[in-house]
Amino acid sequence: MCGFVGFTGSVGDAERVIESMMDAIRHRGPDASGRYVDDDIALGHRRLSIIDISEQGNQPLYSEDGNLVLVFNGEIYNYREIRKELQKLGYRFRTQTDSEVLIYGYAAYGTKLLEKLRGMFSFVIWDKRKKTLFGARDFFGIKPLYYAKMGDTLLFGSEIKAFLKHPHFQKELNTAALEEYLTFQYSAMEETFFKNVFRLQPAHYFLWKDGKLDIHRYWDVQFDADGNPSLDDWVQQISGVFRDSVEAHKIADVEVGSFLSSGVDSSYVAAVADVDKTFTVGFGEDERYNEIGWAKDFSKAIGKQHFTKVITPEEYWASLRHIQYHMDEPLADPSAVALYFVCGLASQQLKVVLSGEGADEIFGGYNVYSEPNATAYDRLPRGLRRAVGKAAEKLPAKRGLNFLVRKGKDVEERFIGNAYMFTPAERKALLKIETDAPSPQELTAPYYKMVKEQDDVTKMQYLDLHMWMAGDILLKADKMSMAHSLELRVPFLDKEVMALAQRIPTKYRVTRKEVTDENTPYITKYAMRLAAKQDTPQETAKTAAKKKLGFPVPIRVWLKEDKYYEIVRTHFESDAAKQFFHTEKLVALLDAHRAGKADNSRRIWTVFMFLVWYGVYFEEQAV
């Protein structure tokens, strides 16, 4: 795991500029650094040594003739197989790294190389003779890649903060991103919170030549249910492909550990991976916010050494500026802070850790996926439900009305992902500024169009795979692990696992209780849970039926306490807040929550995290 930065075009003292940009991402690779600079381009790399930890693996890496120059972040798990193919074609390798197969793979196959890869990655390759830059991001967006065109200069790299060090960079807030964030809780547009800075989307590559940037998609999820295999057949296939993925994700020349919560995803990973060390964090002693006791028992049952940390409220709140700095863009997911601390805990012991991200999106694990056709009301004629829903929207708020409103809308209208903080009308009323932000449905529409013939559950999964997972789940996974120079690997997010999962019928992903063969409290991620139950030691197999907490954070409680209420109120009444918001409405949200009139905790947190982030990046507050 590493980080890289670069820019095209000329600038005074390019060596100093690229070094400054590299220093900004030192946390991504403290083990080594390297750079390449010519009249057309500058490339910089920071290395965290995982495979071939000798100096031979330092980057940039060069082709044998010196023409191709690579900087790379990630891991290629099938690099040995690709290496053998390339050696048969006559390519000679100088290192044992996975990185070098990208250089000769590009020389041999061009952009078709991407179809052969299995792993997580972002990288760029500079062709000196053709003066062409090729860059790519992995299938799911596990590793980040940002770019910005500032005049004749193209900036690119693993983190936006490095761009701020370049003399041509113009820092400007993208207010449209702010308005969208208020609904999604994460940066949902291709253009980031920094004007003219974009994220390369997952499964895309770019080619840059003569000042022109061309972007292409090279892969996508293809849901195509196969009704022939039985449920047991699917369970056995899931077991096989997941075990294979875990073995691939354990490839390293350093020790590998595993995160562990009380849910099935991380427990399945930890049990199958058979690593020596597991890591868990929690808050206080309340079981609603602390999974440590359960995780400790699980680790003991599978014979592993377990490390834990109880995060105090003081530690949590003191870390917020530092976390938003590392995030690059504001993220309002409270669990990001817990992830930051568990990464810190793991980094004291090792460099690589496995985690359970992606299982919910791939196998259908979120509770909201059980909503379509969940009640008899869903079976009423669509026209009737829509009419009742529109009537309900006009009535004063009352218990039960929201059910009628939601059921009166098609999934494309009502579902934008796992978070929905402020409606378009609410965010307009809250903001003092006007922006050209599109509606949430305009952002989700292209994804829904791609699966318009699929059932509602599949549509929701497809949307979450492309928006929620990349924008929230994987953003925090990458940034919080790299803040501690820790490599986080996600064996559920594997191309081969997805190839299987996309063929599983919906009824085996999200299952009605009454059609299961056993007395089970769960209906989501059904086939995968059965595989986990089969592959997990008998004394711990109850994990498959346990409700996942997922780093629960007691912010709802904290915001009612004087100390933390005052911290947030100070931000809500600050000069920064007055630039963007009607601050009296922010305070009203906070006071209503404190008085117990409504649970506004997540909405409050969404605004608060933006203000904390804004203070770091635009008011230059210390982190």
343 catalytic per annotation: no
Task: Give the number of other CB atoms < 10 A from CB of residue 420.
Answer: 14
| Nearest CA-CA partner of 412 in 460, 369, 375, 450 | 460
Task: Report the C-alpha gap between 192 and 260 in whole angstroms.
Answer: 32
Rounded Cα distance between 329 and 142, Å, is 16
Q: How far apart are CA 576 and CA 618, in angstroms?
A: 9
Cβ atoms of residues 474 and 357 within 8 Å? yes
Rg (C-alpha) for the chain, rounded Å, is 24
CA nearest to 480, candidates 279, 358, 585, 340: 340
Q: Which helix (H) or strand (E) holds 427?
A: helix 424-430
Q: Is there a contact between 508 and 374 (Cβ–Cβ < 8 Å)?
A: no
Buried/exposed 296-333: b ≥16 CB within 10 Å, e otherwise: bebbeebebebbbbebebeebbebbbebbbbbbbbbbb
The number of C-alpha atoms within 13 Å of 385 and in the hemisphere containing its C-beta is: 19
346 CA to centre of own chain: 19
**Residue indicated by tokens 């590009």:** 106
| E strand or H helix that includes residue 46 | strand 41-47
Strand ordering across the sheet containing 305-310: 305-310, 277-282, 256-259, 352-354, 487-489
- Assigned token pair, 235: 């369970």
- Of 552, 172, 565, nearest to 333 by C-alpha is 552
Phi-psi domain of 414 (left: phi exceeds 0; alpha: psi -120 through 50; beta: other): alpha
Instruction: Please give the Cα distance from 456 to 570 (Å, whole number).
Output: 43
Of residues 1, 2, 136, 339, which has the active-site annotation?
2
User: 28: buried, middle or exposed (CB in 10 Å: 19+, 13-18, 0-12)?
Assistant: buried
User: How far is Cα 321 from Cα 323, in angstroms, rounded to an integer?
Assistant: 5
Residue 420 phi, psi (nearest 5): -145, 95
Residues serving a catalytic function are 2
